[in-house]
Amino acid sequence: MTVENEGGLLEAIKDRYLEKLSPEIFRSRLFWKTVEGLARSPLNRPQWKADRISLTHFIRVTRDAYLGKAPVVWCNLLVPSELIHGLGCLPFYPEMAAAVTASAGLAPRFIDRAVEEGFSSDACSYHRCLLGCAVEGFLPKPDLLLSVNYPCDSAVLSFAFLSELYGVPHLEVDVPLPGREEELPLLAEQLEEAASLMAGISGRRREEMMQGLAKAIELSNRALEHLRRVEEMRKRDDCVLDGKDAMGNLSVLAGCMGSEAGVEFYRLLAEELEERGCRGP
């Protein structure tokens, strides 16, 4: 799902809610009922059928995070979502929230708010935007902050501040650079610590924890099979899925892997590419 594909939906939501925007709106069941209705309406015209799957998934997960239906884990884009889905928690990606905020034309307000709080104007605009949203109370309260040290330091530094703001733990996962296999035991230890924390806040016993992780990994592997089909078809010169649209699917790789939505998204995308004449090199 690309941000561009949300144009009609975002405009409809802005028309209804922008003038009375407040943190309480996002914790309203009526707001989410409206969003879900608009997502199913003709106003939402995604370029790919699969985009409806990812849009529905992200709306549901975000709604549940705001309504407190399960423990919420904030993470940056490269945190493995299989770990979070498998342990009964809800992944929330504040960087994606910042992108949606910018699409709605609201980024300057929250970026300015972050600068007022003392964050440098040279810092990443995504993170200044999400920090401004957090300070003003517009984001769902996390139970845990989980970041990896890729692709940059912004999430690690922002999450350290947010840990103090919300009074919740922040775990950093250090992914080793290529060729530094001696650091893999540290990575395994950090992932185990994160899994134990999430199992604790979701109330899962060890057996449930292992079953949940196994199911999430199975779903992720099934999604990857369909993704490999997509990537083979994208090698064709006449493939209609260009780099821009494929880049938009980064959100799916980040937030849908380990869920039924991830499997269905890539299955539908592969089928639609085949329908449009792309069957591999």
Helices (H), 26-153: 29-39, 50-66, 81-86, 94-103, 107-116, 125-135
Tokens of 280: 């591999």
Please name which of 204, 172, 192, 207 lies closest in space to residue 87, comparing C-alpha atoms: 204
Tell me if 281 is assigned to some domain: no
CA dist 262 and 54 (Å) reads 8
pLDDT of 16: 63
Please name which of 262, 255, 267 lies closest in space to residue 93, comparing C-alpha atoms: 255
Residues 6+ apart with CB under 8 A from 115: 121, 128
CA dist 143 and 179 (Å) reads 34
CATH code of the domain covering residue 43: 3.40.50.11890
- Count how many domains the chain has: 1
pLDDT of 279: 60
Tell me if 124 is assigned to some domain: yes
Tell me if 139 is assigned to some domain: yes
Tell me if 198 is assigned to some domain: yes
Percent of the chain with pLDDT over 70: 91
Contact 155, 127 (CB under 8 A): yes
Tokens of 60: 């549901």
* Residue 160: alpha-carbon gap to chain centroid: 19
pLDDT of 84: 96
- Cis peptide bond prior to 23, omega within 30° of 0: no
Identify the helix (H) or strand (E) that includes residue 157.
Answer: helix 154-166
Tell me if 280 is assigned to some domain: no
pLDDT of 3: 44
Residue whose entry in the numeric block shows the structure tokens 């649209």: 245
3 state SS of 11: helix
Please name which of 23, 281, 79, 271 lies closest in space to residue 191, comparing C-alpha atoms: 79
Contact 263, 85 (CB under 8 A): no
* Residue 218: alpha-carbon gap to chain centroid: 20
3 state SS of 41: coil
pLDDT of 97: 94
Contact 73, 81 (CB under 8 A): no
Tell me if 228 is assigned to some domain: yes
The neighbouring-strand residues paired with 74 are 92, 145
- Domain extent for 39: 4-275
pLDDT of 136: 95
pLDDT of 216: 97
Mean pLDDT of the chain: 88
pLDDT of 9: 63
Low-confidence residues of the chain, pLDDT below 70?
Answer: 1-19, 43, 279-281
CA dist 204 and 87 (Å) reads 7
pLDDT of 1: 45
